[in-house]
Amino acid sequence: MVTNLLRAIPDSRLQRIAAPCGVVLFGITGDLSKRKILPALYDLAHRGLLPPSFSIVGVARQPRPDLPEVIEEAIREGAKSEVNETTLSQLMSGLRIVAGQYTEDCTYEDLRSTLAELDETRGTSGNFAFYLAIPPELFPTVLGGLGRAGLHNGGDHSWRRVVIEKPFGSDAASAKKLDEVVTSVFDPSAVFRIDHYLGKETVQNLLALRFANELFEPVWNSNHVDHVQITMAEDIGIGSRAGYYDGIGAARDIIQNHLLQLLALTAMEEPTSFSAEALRIEKEKVLEATHFFGSVSESAVRAQYESGWQGGQWVRAYREEEGIPASSTTDTYAALRLGIETRRWSGVPFYLRAGKRLGRRVSEIAIVFKYPPFLPFSSTDGLGHNTLVIHVQPNEGMTFTFGSKVPGAVMNLRDTTMDFSYGHAFTEYSPEAYERLILDVLLGEPPLFPQAREIELSWNILDKAEAAWESSPETLATYAPGTWGPQAADEMLARDGRTWRRP
């Protein structure tokens, strides 16, 4: 009999429509709200997954009479679905704005009256998710205000949840402190920490690939895998995000969260179900067993982009970007060489890299297999490593590279590929990560949200690299825009007799 883990998913998930509720959006005028959250809310409404009563309360520090137009514009620009005027006006009819300082109790009193009015007029039933799309330094202020006003508690028949955007602290100690602040107000089960990579279809498909198939799991270990490369590359610079990015950098912005989550999902053992608890247990075990391969200084590289030509355009160096101090030592590229001390993975390096202004925008996980123990061919020149690449984005799918005989009278070998593409294999709508995750919040389903301990363990890993970098500032390398990073990162792999993939 086939035991199917997917059966552990409750039937209600097949009917994934949110019950009466609303979202209170702190930072409604911010970049993230405009680019991701508001369009995702529209897309959910468009697909009929939000209740008719659904309401959005925007909390803004400055009163802005044009806010409804700004929101509509953001939706029109960012929505994945074609905008339907009836759906849009239904959504906008549930929009309320509370203007006030986050530090003042009267803001939260106004918010309380607004929520009561929505319960009365639209039937939101007291169910609200507070979404903190604001700079992290404001988290304690807003959480304190919500707590003092008692808004974290909706009573016996309603729910209240809080959604926190990364970064969750800037190191293990601050993440722990932040967690104490959050859980001093909200029950831990009501806290949803967003790592939007976990909302991506291709990332969830890792679980299907590994645990729904017989083919991969037997070779998914150090007997067969030579090494793993996890890449998150962007061709853009930091744009207008200087305020957020400087002092944070690529390692804290991407590796601590997105890439270590990808590593955990790639390396973890089979969970007993796909419940949040079962996934947490397996991911934590991996993160706890993850360490630097060799010394930290030999296994961690960071760099900053220089000025230069990229895609036919002259682009500025990081230190010349608007709002960035000329002396900034923030990394815009980081690469780590990690190992996992478990029976399955001991001895297999996991190379992680993330950066801005690289060759192109691509996120992928490449499982590079060992050569067979014996090759009975007179020439194997055209033969590379069998490699399974999970294309997280763009061109979502998978490619398997393997050796084949070149047609002809002699036994010549060459690498060939087998491709799986979401676009060709499925006609179903593929939701944006934010759509999926916001719906999960409204349904109260936490499996795709990292838990506090995972975040702390990820920081424990990264803190070691950050400490090594801080103690040797001269290790900050540079790279030209449009390339694949600094020479030091190539050298790190070359010392192991390996090279980075060119995605």
Cβ proximity to ligand BG6, 35 vs 64, nearer residue: 35
CA–CA dist 180, 194 (Å, integer): 17
Which DSSP helix (H) or strand (E) runs through 228? strand 225-233
- Does residue 450 have a cis bond before it (omega within 30 degrees)? no
State yes or no: residue 363 binds ligand BG6 (CB under 6 A): yes
For the CB of residue 332, give the shortest distance to ligand BG6 in the complex, in Å.
Answer: 10
For the CB of residue 437, give the shortest distance to ligand BG6 in the complex, in Å.
Answer: 12
**Residues in 140-199 at the binding interface with ligand BG6, rule: CB under 6 A:** 196
Cβ proximity to ligand BG6, 245 vs 293, nearer residue: 245
Cβ proximity to ligand BG6, 179 vs 195, nearer residue: 195
Q: Are 50 and 56 in contact (CB under 8 A)?
A: no
For the CB of residue 295, give the shortest distance to ligand BG6 in the complex, in Å.
Answer: 29
- Strand 55-60 vs strand 95-99: parallel, antiparallel, or unpaired? parallel
Residue 47 amino acid letter = R
CA–CA dist 3, 111 (Å, integer): 49
In which residue are the tokens 């305020």 written? 243
For the CB of residue 276, give the shortest distance to ligand BG6 in the complex, in Å.
Answer: 21
Cα torsion 479, 485, 486, 491 to 10°: value is -170
CA–CA dist 35, 151 (Å, integer): 27
For the CB of residue 354, give the shortest distance to ligand BG6 in the complex, in Å.
Answer: 9
Q: Which two tokens stand for residue 139?
A: 């988290």
For the CB of residue 36, give the shortest distance to ligand BG6 in the complex, in Å.
Answer: 9
CA–CA dist 172, 193 (Å, integer): 15
Cβ proximity to ligand BG6, 200 vs 337, nearer residue: 200
CA–CA dist 116, 88 (Å, integer): 23
**Which residue numbers are catalytic?**
258
Q: Are 74 and 37 in contact (CB under 8 A)?
A: no
Cβ proximity to ligand BG6, 179 vs 234, nearer residue: 234
Cβ proximity to ligand BG6, 161 vs 357, nearer residue: 357
- Strand 333-340 vs strand 128-132: parallel, antiparallel, or unpaired? unpaired
C-alpha radius of gyration, the chain, whole number: 24
For the CB of residue 78, give the shortest distance to ligand BG6 in the complex, in Å.
Answer: 13
CA–CA dist 339, 294 (Å, integer): 9
Cα torsion 180, 183, 185, 191 to 10°: value is 140
Q: How many CB atoms lie within 10 A of CB 205?
A: 18
> Which residue has its beta carbon closest to ligand BG6?
253
For the CB of residue 447, give the shortest distance to ligand BG6 in the complex, in Å.
Answer: 19
Closest CA to 481 of 365, 310, 260: 310
Task: For residue 466, give Cα distances in angstroms to 197, 322, 337.
Answer: 23, 25, 14
**Residues in 197-256 at the binding interface with ligand BG6, rule: CB under 6 A:** 234, 253
- If you count them, how many residues does the chain have? 503
Closest CA to 223 of 107, 370, 338: 370
Q: Are 64 and 70 in contact (CB under 8 A)?
A: yes
**Interacting residues with ligand BG6 (CB under 6 A):** 196, 234, 253, 363
